[in-house]
């Protein structure tokens, strides 16, 4: 699992997000105001945390909100 969150932070990275917290790549792209390709690149570079469910990456809105609050440059207006 890729992540930019430091282990010392209080985030349970090993727990799969509940259904209401899950986002797909298109939803994450919309949330960050960017493209799906950018989300794929960020995922590969470890800039955003994700879970792998078979072939599909699943993202946690809660974890992404934490990452975005600490990395404002990732968000486009």
What's 60's domain CATH number? 1.10.10.10
pLDDT at 28: 96
Produce one character per residue of 35-73: b if its CB has 16 or more CB atoms within 10 Å, e if not: eeebbeebbeeebbbbbeeeeebbbbeebbebbeeeeee
Per-10-residue mean pLDDT of the chain, 77 residues long, equals 41 72 96 95 94 91 91 73
Q: Retrieve residue 1's tokens.
A: 């699992």
Question: Euclidean distance between the first and final Cα of the chain, in Å?
Answer: 28
Q: Which residue range(s) make up the domain with 66?
A: 19-74
- Residue 7: inside a domain: no
Supply the pLDDT for residue 75: 73
Task: Pick the closest to residue 49 from 40, 59, 39, 61 (CA basis).
Answer: 59
Question: What pLDDT is stored for residue 24 in this prediction?
Answer: 96
**pTM (whole model) above 0.85:** no
Domain count, the chain: 1
Q: What is the pLDDT of residue 2?
A: 45
């Amino acid at each position: 699992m890729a992540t930019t969150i430091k282990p010392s932070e209080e985030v349970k990275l090993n727990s799969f997000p509940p259904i209401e917290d899950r986002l797909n790549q298109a939803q994450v792209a919309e949330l960050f105001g960017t493209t799906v390709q950018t989300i794929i690149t960020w995922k590969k570079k470890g800039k955003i945390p994700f879970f792998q469910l078979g072939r599909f990456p699943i993202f946690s809105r809660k974890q992404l909100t934490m990452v975005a609050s600490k990395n404002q440059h990732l968000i486009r207006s």
